[in-house]
Amino acid sequence: MSGAFPATSTGSVGKLCYWGCSNSSDRTGLEQNCPLPDYIPPEVFSFESSTGFTLYGMMYKPHNLQPGKKYPTVIFIYGGPQVQLVNNRFKGLKYFRLNTLASLGYVVVVIDNRGSCHRGLKFEGAFKYKMGQIEIDDQVEGLHYLASQYDFIDLDRVGIHGWSYGGYLSLMALMQRSDIFRVAIAGAPVTLWVFYDTGYTERYMGHPEHNEQGYYLGSVAMQAEKFPSEPNRLLLLHGFLDENVHFAHTSILLSFLVRAGKPYDLQIYPQERHSIRVPESGEHYELHLLYYLQENLGSRIAALKAM
């Protein structure tokens, strides 16, 4: 073996092999690509945005797609610095949830907006001093691009879900574009930048005294009155022991939502930290996510619209 292993793709995973060599220590590696039965990989796409950048995304089409039928869409988002979600390689178990949603009749879309990594300083630095102010524009533009290319996307039934920075942007999406997003499911979101790790925050936002407007516009808790007044549109998820995005972020947002008279749904995981680790909590989260989407975006809502 030369030590160079084949790259995986969105629709295949490497075969893990173990072997020994007479002149070297035993090694483990990916020997070959193995197609995955019953797995339908996403389609990678790109489009030219109004900002002049080429943006990349991937789309999971609903399984058993029927001509002439429209399907609800879920945007899965992170969108923050130092992360890139869209690439042509196998996504691992973490992204099987997206394939599950597609198997249940959802279009699932992932887009790397400005600010995500591996695209150069100008692209990654686009949200310098203005986190939360540009990312959703890219997501909405990508959604409209796909809707112009495919007639099965129901723009009246669009949801968004993410965790951590993705949870933060899920809140931003509902706050900024409630005309586009019917449902937001926000996991462990930052809601007030002055509450978050200063080393991280000031790297991108500068000092609060020098960027008051940026901190205000980027903090959803300070703008709770902009959330929709209809119920069943916002679900917050948070581990009570979160050591990264402290539960205080959700707590203060709830206080402002109550003060503004805005409805919300809340799911607390008492024994979880920033990432869900306990299997029972993970199963509960997955089922709750599916239930909330189905109740508020799925067949029930489609039937009500037809009445």
170 is catalytic: no
Cα 296 from chain centre:
18
Beta bridge partners of 18: 28
Q: Tokens 């709750």 sit at which residue?
A: 288
Told to judge if 151 belongs to the known catalytic residues of this protein, a careful annotator would answer no
Among the listed residues 63, 274, 284, 288, the single catalytic one is 274
**Considering just the CA atoms, what is the radius of gyration of the chain in Å?**
21
Q: Which helix (H) or strand (E) holds 268?
A: strand 265-269
E strand or H helix at 135, and its extent?
helix 135-149
Burial 131-140 (b: 16+ CB within 10 A, else e): bbbebbbbbb
Contact between 53 and 136 under an 8 Å Cβ cutoff? The reply is: no
Contacts of 262 (CB under 8 A, 6+ apart): 224, 225, 227, 228, 229, 234
CA distances from 112 to 24, 120, 131, 169, 187 (A): 41, 13, 15, 12, 18
Of these residues, 161, 242, 246, 249, which one is catalytic? 242
Q: Is 210 a catalytic residue?
A: no
Active-site residue identified among 12, 116, 164, 219: 164
In 3D space, the residue among 137, 140, 233, 145 whose CA is nearest the CA of residue 180 turns out to be 140
- 286: tokens are 């997955």
Provide the β-strand partners of residue 12.
9, 35
Which positions are catalytic? 164, 242, 274
